[in-house]
Each structure stands twice: as C-alpha cells, then as structure tokens.
Amino acid sequence: MQLKPKMSLAKTGLRRMLATAASGLLAGAHANAQEAAADVPTTTIDTGLLYYHENGRVRAIEPDLNLTQQIDENSILTLGFTVDSVTGPTPLGAVPSTLPQSYVRPYKVIPLGTPVTVTTASGGSVVTLVPPASGATTQTLSATRTVPANTYPLDTSFKDLRYAANAGWQQVLGAGVTVNGGVAYSKEHDYRAESVNFGIAKDLNQHNTTLNAGVNYESDLSFPIGGTPTPLTVMNGDWKGPDASRSEVDAVLGLTQVMTRRWLASLSYSYSTSHGYQDDPYKIISVVDPVSGQPLSQLYESRPDIRQKQSLYLENKVHLSHDVVEFDLRGYKDDWGIKSVTADLRYRYMLSGSAYLEPHARYYQQGAANFFDYYLVVGQPLPEFASADTRLAKFHAQTYGLKFGLPVDEGSEFSIRVEYYDQHGDGSPAFAIGQLRQQNLFPALTAVTVLLGYSYAF
Amino acid sequence: MPTAPVLDGDASIKGAEERMMRKTSWSALGIAIALVACTSAHAEGLDLSGYRGKVVYLDFWASWCTPCRRSFPWLDGLVRQFGKYDLVVIGVNVDQSNELAKKFLDDIPANFPIVYDPQGAIATTFKIMGMPSAVLIDRNGQVRFQHVGFSETTKDEYETHVRQLLDEKPR
Amino acid sequence: MKRTFDNCLMKNRVELLMLLVLSGAGTCLGGCTSLGPKPWQHDLMAEPAMRINSDPLQAAVDDHIYFSKEGSSGGRSYAGGGCGCN
C-alpha cells in the first residue's frame, strides 16, 4: 500500500495551512494540545463504606477514603483516612458451664471518697467498688457480669472507635526504578499504632519482570481499659499494670512476571518479627476441675514476647477473551506454631458496557498455636504460655462473595460487594472432660460484610 | 547546536516538491514489508521508499498507552514546525483492534498518517523495546535513533535528534 | 498420629506448598529473561482489572477483617504488571 498520495495531499494542505497560519490557528492548536494532554486523569478519589456483622456478635461500620494524586510525571501522592466503629460481644476465652459464671473487669479509677451512683455498666454488668488498699487516694470501679448456664461466654462491653490515617509517596527515579515511602497512624480507645514504610521496585526484561523489596516498621502501645494484667494471674477487679508496648519489623521481597499477554503472576515472600506485648489484655483462660470439668478460676492469658512470621504469596491474574480470573495462594507459618494455607478465587464476568459481576470464593485453613488450649486443668503444671483465643486455634473458614461493579460516568465507578464468612473449629474435642463434653467449646463464627464503593477519577 | 535549515522562500519549497516526485528505491534495511490485509485498507504494509530524502519519524503507539496521550500533541507540533523542512511523521498503531485505535483518535486527533500493525510485524522488524517507541530515519533511509518512552524530560532530546537529522543533506 | 508418608505429607502441607512454589520461581529466574510478551502486546496488562493491586481499598478492608479473625496476616507486595509504558 502506498502512503504517498495521501501524504502529499496532507502535505499540500499543511503547506497551505502554514502559509496562512496566523497566530490564531496556532493558538487554537496549542490549546487543543493542552486539552488532549489533560485527558489523562491525575486525581482519583476512592471511597468505601463497610458494614460488618457477625451473627450474634460484633458489628462494625467503617467509612474509608483514599486519595491518589499525580503530582508530576514521576511522582504520586496517596492519602488515606478511615474511621472504624466496632461494637458488640466478643468471646472472652472462658469455657461455658452448666452453672452460671461471673466475670469481673476493672473499668474506672476514681478519687477516694467520690460518691458513686451504682448504675448498670454497659452489657448488663453490675458495678462494684473494689476496696482500696490502705493509704490509697483512689479506688477502682469494676464491672461484674454473669453469664447464664450453658451459654458461650462473651464480653458484651466491647465498644470502640478507631481513627486511622496514612500518607504515601511514590517516585520514579529512572532506569526502571521506582521508590516509595509512607507513614501510617491508627488510634483507638485502648491502642495506638504508628508505622513507617519504604520500598523499591525495578523493572527488567522490557517491563515484563519487576523485582521489589519493602520494609515496614511499626510501634504500638496498648493501654487497655483496666490496665495491663499480669499474665496467668487470677482474674479480679483490681486495676492492672501500666501501658505496654510492642514493635514490629516486616520485610517483603516480590517478583512479578508478565508470563504471557494474558497471564500475570506475582510471588512474594515476607518475613516479620515483633517484640513486646503480644497478649490480648481482655482474654482469659479457664482452669477447670479434672473430673467435673467445671471452671474453678479464670486466668489472664499469656503469649510469648516474640513472634516471627513468614509467608509465601502467589497471585495469578488471567485475562480471558472478556473476563478476568484471579487465583491466589498463600502459605504461612510462624514460631508460635501456627501454619495456614489460603486459596482465593475470583472471576470477573464482564457484562455490557464495562459493568461486571464478580463471584468470589476463599478457603482458609489454620493449625493451632503451640500454646493454644481450650482450657487448663487444675493439678497440671502451669504452662509458660497459654491462650484460649479461638483465633489461635485450629479451624477452617470459607468466604463466598459477589461483587457488582458499574461505571457511572467517564472515570467513575460504583460497586457493591456482599460476602459471607463462615469459620468452623472443633467445638467438641475428644479430650474434653466432665461437663465440657456437652458444651460447644468453639461455636462457629459467621459474618456478613457489605462493602459499598465509589471511585472517581478526573 | 543544530538548527533546522532555513529555507529562503518559494524556490526551496519547489525544490522539495521535486525531490518528493523523484521515486527512489530503498536500500539495505529492507523496510518494504507486505502484510496480509486486516480489517482496513491501512493495515497492508509499510513502504517508506517514497520518503527517501526526507526524515521519517516513525512513532509506535497504542490506545492503551498513557504516555501516547501526551506524545500526540507533541508529534502534531513536530509536523507543524518541521513538516515544511521535510519531516514526515507516521503513526504505527499496534492495537489488537482498529476500533480501539479509532476511539483514541476521536479523542486525540493526529495530523499525521496512521498505519495499522495489529500483528506487530512492523514493530518486530524495528525491534521495538518499549511503548511508546519511535524510530528516526534519516534522509538516506538509515535508522539513526530509537526513542523508547515519552516524557517531559525526553521530548526535548527527541526534538534535538529531529533537528540534527533535518540539518543533514542527503547523500 | 501414626508416622506414615501420608501423615507426613499432611503435617507438612505448608512447607511442601512453599517448596513447590519456590522451585517454580527459581527455575523461572534462571531462564525468564525472554519470558513474556513483546512491549506492544501489553494491551490487556494495561487494563485496570489486570493491575496487581486493582482495588487497594477493598484489599485493605479484607486484610483488616481477616487479621482480626484469623491467626495469619498479610504477605502481599504490590509492584509490577501494567502497560509497561515509560
């Protein structure tokens, strides 16, 4: 095919244009060039509203806002804000019993002599005054709650508001190298976390391969309501110990490879080490009678001071003729003895326009931590570490979800995602003694999440 | 610092027309490629033999390439500024479908011709190493520069290359 | 648990999985220099749905939920893929 005839016509036309071209035309052309260049969106606002509801337990509502701003050709600024309101019952860690059980927790310190109007504290508890030590100038208010017989003990006073913000910067350095850095801050009623992160990425093989490395340092402070309890001491209404801190370093190495025109694969290895206060200050473990299985006392849980985690994560995205499939696998292990495997599958089914329907399934399986125990038995030696927190137990969980995405205008998208989470552990372990044999020691956890999203790019 | 040749009025423009009329065959690089026709008449091939004596800026672009949205206005500028000095700009589109390319052109018009290369044969011949890419061919038909990528920082350098080749007289 | 091959496999599931994936990556690193499409074939990679972290807000929400209900956490890094344009 010969371009020439077309070209010469264009050239003639151009010459004519140039000959008569006054500044007017050029100015017009220039303005068009500016408009065309501004075609690429430089700002993205991403908003989300999460509603989380566990059956009979915790509920949370969380609005999120993310802002991504292209500063110039090589720099991007990101800002994120989130507010998290959580309320509702959460497991205490204690075992259920054929007899009603009482649990006490300190919640306020008042100056000695302050008149106290005994009201029902949150969650239907009874407020009691803890007798002050001699010479004390303050006294402690504690709440005692009674759980009926054959009821899985839940802490109903759980209510918290969390604020979090993060900021990040990404810079292209040239020669296929990009660096990024950021900070994050999170604050809730009894906990504060601050972190800083750095990362670097290098493109190779004509942008088909990307190597990346990142490191994150986090510093946390716990200041639980009622103070920090001494691990494996008997639960009581006394005000506990001072604030407790923890620090964590995470490092990640990643390799992303465009395998074919349709298939993108990414493999990441991450290592994390943390030192400091790892206990859950509100969780207890029951000490039961060796014959009857009745709880005789409740101890505050204890976890090691150190935790080292490792995980390997493989992500695959495949673009079919219209649809996109994503399949991820993760293997995890830590020095607490927890090992887990996660498999995640998403299928984005494209509808007319750019709307889509995306079903999602996730399977998760974890083994118990070394020091996880459903309960301790009187007469047996007290272990160094013990926790009845079912999050550290052996269980498997499935998630089933469906997301619907709809582009609204040029550059904006609306989405809604509904998911169902189902966690099952062994509620009737073979070794259960006495009355514990008839109890469900690990009730299934089911939760529904709804995530509304709206993102706008301009 | 190389500058574009200054032409004195109509005489030189007439000379340029004469050069264009002269058909000379291409040499060793073997740029003439015959392709199987695709969905449009434009997809058949790329024969640059008629441009001997001119400087050809062969730009490889696609609708999905974000920097191409910025490079097009710059390429239009090159045509306006240097077209009369024998610069030819040709856009080689590597989209898998012409429809996507046409949609891009509706938003961002190009005042230079477009050749469609959906199978990537032309891109393969020129050993394109990134997107966008451009190949600068001098007046003697030799590939002199390969431009990989487009940004505010590189476009000035690219323009320097264009001016350098325009300054050269054909052999 | 009786010491059998099957039990050994079951117990060391996570390690075996990691070994399998790592050896795959290892062979890839050795001969991956020509793996992947040509630069002009990155059209599908340029689509938003194909980006490595296509929905960061959703990913953050998910990470937070699973972190608060399960014993494992994190593991991902986000870099690579995309149109590969300069």
Q: What single-letter amino acid sits at A82?
A: T
Angle, to 10 degrees, between the axis of helix B66-82 and the axis of helix B152-167? Answer: 30
Residue B67 domain flag: yes
Judged by a CB distance cut-off of 8 A, whether residue A312 touches chain C is yes
Distance of alpha carbon A180 from alpha carbon A195, whole angstroms: 14
Angle, CA A306 vertex, CA A303 and CA A307 arms, to 5° = 90
Sign of the C-alpha dihedral, residues A136, A137, A143, A144?
A: positive
pLDDT given at position C6: 59
CB contact under 8 A, B148 and C86: yes
Judged by a CB distance cut-off of 8 A, whether residue B109 touches chain C is no
CA distances from A284 to A24, A69, A154, A400, B117 (A): 80, 46, 11, 32, 69
DSSP reduced 3-state for C41: helix
CB contact under 8 A, B73 and A2: no
The label of the residue with tokens 């009737």 reads: A428
pLDDT given at position C52: 87
Neighbouring C-alpha atoms within 13 Å toward the C-beta of B87: 29
Judged by a CB distance cut-off of 8 A, whether residue A64 touches chain C is yes
| Interval B19-69: pLDDT, tens | 444 443 343 333 433 333 332 223 346 788 888 899 999 999 999 999 999
Show which subunits contact C, needing at least 3 CB pairs below 8 angstroms: A, B
Q: What single-letter amino acid sits at A200?
A: I
Fill in the DSSP letter of residue A296. Answer: E
Residue B56 domain flag: yes
Quote the tokens at residue A235: 């639960």
Per-residue pLDDT of chain A (458 residues), as tens digits, is 332 333 333 333 333 333 333 333 333 333 333 444 446 789 999 999 999 999 999 999 999 999 999 999 899 999 999 999 988 899 999 999 999 999 999 988 888 877 776 666 555 677 777 777 788 888 888 889 899 999 999 988 778 899 999 999 999 998 899 999 999 999 999 999 999 999 999 999 999 999 999 999 999 999 999 999 999 999 999 999 999 999 999 999 999 999 999 999 999 999 999 999 999 999 999 999 999 999 999 999 999 999 999 999 999 999 999 999 999 999 999 999 999 999 999 999 999 888 999 999 999 999 999 999 999 999 999 999 999 999 999 999 999 999 999 988 777 999 999 999 999 999 999 999 999 999 999 999 999 999 999 999 99
Judged by a CB distance cut-off of 8 A, whether residue A262 touches chain B is no
Which residues of chain C are within 8 Å of residue A364 when distances are taken between CB atoms?
66, 70
Distance of alpha carbon A190 from alpha carbon A243, whole angstroms: 9
Q: Which residue of B has its CA nearest to A5?
A: B50
pTM: 0.82
Which residues of chain C are within 8 Å of residue A48 when distances are taken between CB atoms?
57-58, 61
Quote the tokens at residue A414: 């609306």
Strands A244-258 and A263-276: antiparallel
Distance of alpha carbon A191 from alpha carbon A276, whole angstroms: 14
Distance of alpha carbon C73 from alpha carbon C68, whole angstroms: 9
User: Residues 21..40 of B with a Cβ closer than 8 Å to A: which?
Assistant: none
Residue by residue, DSSP assigns A119-135 as -PBTTTBEEEEEPPPTT
Give the domain ranges of chain A.
Answer: 4-34, 47-100+148-457
Judged by a CB distance cut-off of 8 A, whether residue C62 touches chain B is no
Q: Which residues pair with B93 in a beta bridge?
A: B61, B116
Distance of alpha carbon A416 from alpha carbon A232, whole angstroms: 45
Q: Supply the ipTM of this predicted assembly.
A: 0.86
CATH class of the domain defined by A47-100+148-457: mainly beta
CB contact under 8 A, C85 and B149: yes
Sign of the C-alpha dihedral, residues A226, A232, A237, A239?
A: negative
Q: Which of A255, A262, A331 lies closest to C44 in CB terms?
A: A262
pLDDT given at position A35: 40
Q: Which residue of B has its CA nearest to A6?
A: B113
Residue B113 domain flag: yes
A105 and A143 in contact (C-beta within 8 Å)?
Answer: yes
| Interval B112-165: pLDDT, tens | 999 999 999 999 999 999 999 999 999 998 999 999 999 988 999 999 999 999
A303 and A274 in contact (C-beta within 8 Å)?
Answer: no
Number of domains chain B is built from: 1
Residue A10 exposed, middle or buried by CB count within 10 Å (0-12, 13-18, 19+): middle
Q: What CATH number does residue B162 fall under? A: 3.40.30.10
Which of C77, C78, C86 would you mutate first to test chain A, the one with the most A CBs within 10 A? C77
Angle, to 10 degrees, between the axis of helix B66-82 and the axis of helix A4-20? Answer: 70
Give φ, ψ of B51 to 5 degrees: -100, 10
B23/chain C closest Cα distance in angstroms: 32
C41/chain B closest Cα distance in angstroms: 8
Which residue range(s) make up the domain with B73?
A: 51-167
As a whole number of Å, the CA-based R_g of chain C is: 19
CB contact under 8 A, C85 and B66: yes
Residues of chain C with pLDDT under 70: 1-11, 21, 23-33
If you count residue pairs, one on A and one on B, with CB atoms under 8 Å apart, how many are there? 67
Distance of alpha carbon A305 from alpha carbon A310, whole angstroms: 17
Which residues of chain B are within 8 Å of residue A15 when distances are taken between CB atoms?
13, 83-84
CB contact under 8 A, A36 and B83: no
A176-211 burial, b at 16+ Cβ within 10 Å, e below that, comes to bebebebebebeeebebbebebebbbbbebbbbbbb
User: Within its chain, how far is the Cα of A376 from the centroid?
Assistant: 30
Quote the tokens at residue A389: 């927190």
Distance of alpha carbon A295 from alpha carbon A299, whole angstroms: 11
Which residues of chain C are within 8 Å of residue B129 when distances are taken between CB atoms?
39
